[in-house]
Amino acid sequence: MCARLLHRPSYLANLAIGLHGGCGTLARGLQSEAEWRETREHLAQALRAGWRLLIAGGSALDAVQACVVALEDSPHFNAGYGAALNEAAEHELDASIMDGATLAAGAVCAVRRVRNPVLAARAVLDDGQAVLLTGPAADDFAAARGLAMVEPGYFTTPRRVEALRVQKARAAAGTAAQSSEAERHGTVGAVARDRQGHLAAATSTGGFNNKPRGRVGDTPIVGAGTYARDGVCAVSCTGQGEIFMRRVAAYDLAARILYGGQALAAAADEMVFTTLRNHGIGAGLVALGATGNPVAPFNTLGMARGWIAIDGELTVATHRELHALGPA
């Protein structure tokens, strides 16, 4: 155990937070180093947003929400501002959030006007009448609760317009299946453990480029793309959502730990490198257990990710190389 952790107050030693920005990371040469630096800085900013709440005694639920809001506001990730466009050149956004202490959850799918879909998901959780709200009704629900609303064009960036053009061209040529993970998918998510040992997870996405209108993936499906249960794990997934739904992947990870007796890291590695890889898909996740540090396995070229470990040290990455940024 490092000296820094030994000198931390005991009530802070349990804290940890992790995030991912999707396993569809571009090849390094497709962006400038300045763009990669900015991506890593946005990851760090998101982690710090959640960490500030945790060290002040805030809940894991509030921490993952703050983390995902920051990622939704960044153009570098496929969630909120900068989200993917569907086949009709429209945005249909999904998000979910889950409290490991109570198993309460909230989710929205196919929203088009709420600026931060994860806040709409949290409002569904807090309202308690439903777990999942859809489409215009979910947008209306968010507006009625005073959340910031935008015109759909707010989410559009030149990068996503170009990505849609490329995917439509591939579809016309019959080569869509050859698209890289970066050309197709993208998601953001966060997991956290607070001072009381409670866990939480949240996930948000724009889906995949050129997706069918009305398509909903695993992100807003509790147990598929997002799951949290105190004493077991919190997990947020990224990859081809249809497979994650069919495998009930997020809950499967928890079951491997709870019923199968696996350690978190072993269960997460088996899920990503064996179970999901056997479906021929790129996949990744970030997960956190009842104790210890986050894990973030992925089987693709890269996965934007980061964590603040129990020693308070902050690390971010986009590809294999890790960037240690020192104390949070």
Q: How far apart are CA 91 and CA 79, in angstroms?
A: 10
Query: What residues contact residue 230 under an 8 Å CB cut-off, 6+ apart?
Result: 100, 101, 197, 198, 199, 290
Q: How far apart are CA 227 and CA 251, in angstroms?
A: 6
Q: How far apart are CA 14 and CA 82, in angstroms?
A: 34
187 among known catalytic residues: yes
59: phi > 0 → left, psi -120 to 50 → alpha, else beta; which?
A: beta
Q: How far apart are CA 307 and CA 294, in angstroms?
A: 7
239's tokens: 């990859």
Q: How far apart are CA 7 and CA 13, in angstroms?
A: 10
- Of the residues 187, 226, 315, 318, only one is catalytic, namely 187
Edge-to-edge strand ranges of the sheet holding 233-239: 226-229, 233-239, 283-289
The rounded radius of gyration (Å) of the Cα atoms in the chain is: 18
Beta carbons of 64 and 97 less than 8 angstroms apart: yes
User: Which residues are the active-site residues?
Assistant: 187
